[in-house]
Amino acid sequence: MEPAIIYDCIMQQWSPQIGDPSVIGWVTVAAYAVTGYFCMTAARKERARDRRFWALLSIIMLFLAVNKQLDLQSALTAAGRCMSKMQGWYGQRRAVQLAFILALIASSVTIMLIALITLRHALRRIGIALLGFGLVLTFVAVRAVGFHDVDRLISTTIAGARVNWILELSGLILILANAVWACRASARQGRPSREGPAMRHGHR
């Protein structure tokens, strides 16, 4: 199977263009970008033990900001569809999709467990961001599956808001809130005392 043939097949079903030009689509892109910025700021200001977490989270958030409009998961779905047709197992794609879903769920759970175990001593400082990341990770995993039934489920509305908006934006809000708190906490720790060295020691 030649890569050029697969590429042509994918490009017939997907193209790099603005995937969601709606207001909520651009609001979500902005939310990812702002969250990524504050995570990056927290990585620069925080102590060494939390710095890697915030730096990695900032990279993920900025990547997802770009991916929000390029819709790269649709390209992945198109690639799977093209390969299944070319290799002759398109009729059994449901079984493959189920295996992919289980693998995706297992990977997401593994990532969160590793994060919880590795960062268990820092949960007081980054626990809210970790919860938000779990929500965003769940949303990305659900979107990557590409099941029509799942897409219909997350497209349903609650009080006028779609489930996918609630899931995605809730996670971003939690990460952003924790990142802003981390920045402020670092600023308070780095701020010199109002008394100053002379006032603390006094005159002998």
Question: Cβ of 84: how many Cβ atoms within 10 Å?
Answer: 16
pLDDT at 129 over 90: yes
Q: Where are the domains of the chain?
A: 3-90+97-185
- pLDDT per residue as tens digits for the range 140-170: 877 766 555 555 655 666 656 666 778 789 9
Confidence of residue 102 (pLDDT cuts 50, 70, 90): confident
The pLDDT score that the predictor gives to residue 178 is 96
Confidence of residue 203 (pLDDT cuts 50, 70, 90): very low
pLDDT at 61 over 80: yes
Q: What is the pTM of this model?
A: 0.75
The span from the CA of 34 to the CA of 9, in Å, is 36
